[in-house]
């Protein structure tokens, strides 16, 4: 079974690189992440993750991010919407 490439550009392009991928190969460190959120002053406020459901790669990444944040105790909420709605909502700084 082939090993997945840690390079965001894959292994078959001229932009492929395995520099700075040790963190990816090792995996995450939930305890350090919790500590960093605490040091940053996070106090349980809701974190809304805008999820463009019609852009599949970003949709998957948004879902993974939400789960990872929830697992370390962050009050993360996924807000699924299409890209047009996401662009409109992101531009509205009043929210």
- pLDDT band of residue 95 (cuts 50, 70, 90) is low
**Cα 81 to chain centroid, rounded:** 16
Does residue 19 belong to any structural domain of this protein?
A: no
Instruction: Kindly state whether residue 6 falls inside one of the protein's structural domains.
Output: no
The domain of 63 spans 43-95
CB neighbourhood size of 35 (10 A): 12
Of 1 and 41, the one with more pLDDT: 41
Confidence (pLDDT) at 4: 66
Overall number of domains in the chain: 1
At residue 1, the pLDDT reads 53
Within a domain: 74? yes
Please indicate whether residue 23 or residue 55 has the higher confidence score (pLDDT): 55
Can you give the pTM of this predicted structure? 0.71
DSSP string, 11-25: SSSTT---TT-HHHH
Query: What is the arithmetic mean of pLDDT over 48-60?
Result: 94
């Amino acid at each position: 079974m082939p090993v997945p490439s840690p390079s965001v550009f894959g292994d078959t392009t001229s932009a492929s690189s395995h520099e700075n991928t040790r963190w990816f190969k090792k995996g995450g460190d939930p305890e350090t992440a919790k500590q960093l959120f605490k040091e940053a002053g996070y106090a349980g406020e809701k974190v809304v993750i805008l999820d463009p459901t019609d852009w599949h790669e970003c949709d998957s990444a948004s879902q993974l991010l939400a789960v990872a944040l929830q697992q370390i105790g962050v009050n993360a909420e996924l807000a699924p919407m299409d890209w047009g709605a996401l662009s409109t909502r992101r531009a509205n700084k009043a929210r």
